[in-house]
Structure 1
Amino acid sequence: MKSLVTALALIAAPAITLAAQPNLLVNGSFEDSVIANGKWNVFANINGWTGTGAGIEVRNNIVGSALDGKNFVELDSYSNSGMFQTVGTSVGSSYNFSFSFANREGTVAATNGLDWTVDGGKTWNAAPTLNSSKWADFSTSFIASSASTVIGFRATGTNDALGTSLDKVSLTTAVPEPESYALMLAGLAAVGFVARRRKSA
């Protein structure tokens, strides 16, 4: 039986695939706000997100189109603004954080700009500078240092009510790569093989 288990482990190891991890953030693509096609509105807060400054501008197919779903956000509503969301995390665990962003159509690069944070604003990080209104993806990973993590964004371009578009924000638990599982199973198989040889001897 042990030989069969060992053989199956070695055969299965290279074929392991990983299921997509669920988004830990609420309303990561801003679809919970009801906005008519071709319209926009500014909210103090939206489901899952607390706005700061001049609020959260949610747009539906106006001055650009959403990457995921129908809605997307701009954080230079009437002036530069921001938003935050607190999510439960496990100390010492790794997480993947990503979002998509684009310059507002018909604007120069300087009027755009977006900072992000995963520690509630203790450290702000700038999204890469874009020279295009096409959606771009950004991703990073971090290790949680507390039982809750505060994800945030803020507009940093010219304070002129014209700013970067934001969509498809995601926070997921990081999992080992398939190769890591394969190595682990191979290691277990090797331990089982050595134990069997010792027992036979």
Structure 2
Amino acid sequence: MKFTHVAIAATLAVGALTAQAADPTASLDKSFAEYTGSGPIGNNNLNINTFYWMFESSGTYAGKAVNSWFLIWDPTSARVKGSVSFDAPILFVHDDQAELVATSSFGKAGVTYDYRNSLVGLEAGDKVGTSFAGSTLTLNWNASNPGDHVRVMTAVPEPQTYALMAAGLGIVGWFARRRRAD
């Protein structure tokens, strides 16, 4: 029976790893990196020619289970063009001050956000250069103060652990039944 316990624990551990949201990938004309600082972000505070992303949190928005991602383009002055892809379909893109403030509860713990500037989010020209289809956000942004910032909400991927857990429970049931028959 010890082997069964070990097999179930290993199956659940491996399954739990696959259920996590994967890091986004990008095809951009600038460098793309995870933001690991503590901020403040949102009001011309970085001034670095790197396009940043960070996973904020998971929750429910408009009745849907979502993962929240924050994208930051806050250079001294530059354009970025390309696309960012996620592991699940994009459901919402929040790209102006009112939307960012309204969804601030999804913010990453330990990171300070600064939404005071009325231009935080995307300027009108950058909104025109932004679209999404499926799990890919396409963008053509020309950052000016305070930079460009969007909150992207993706569907929570259907965990593969359900299938693994069902298989594990089936095996446990089979062993238990077999043991009773003996």
Shared fold (TM-score greater than 0.5)? no
TM-score normalised by the shorter chain: which range applies? Answer: 0.3 to 0.5
More helix by share: 2
Q: What's the TM-score once normalised by structure 1's chain length?
A: 0.34
Based on CA coordinates, which of the two structures has the bigger radius of gyration? 1
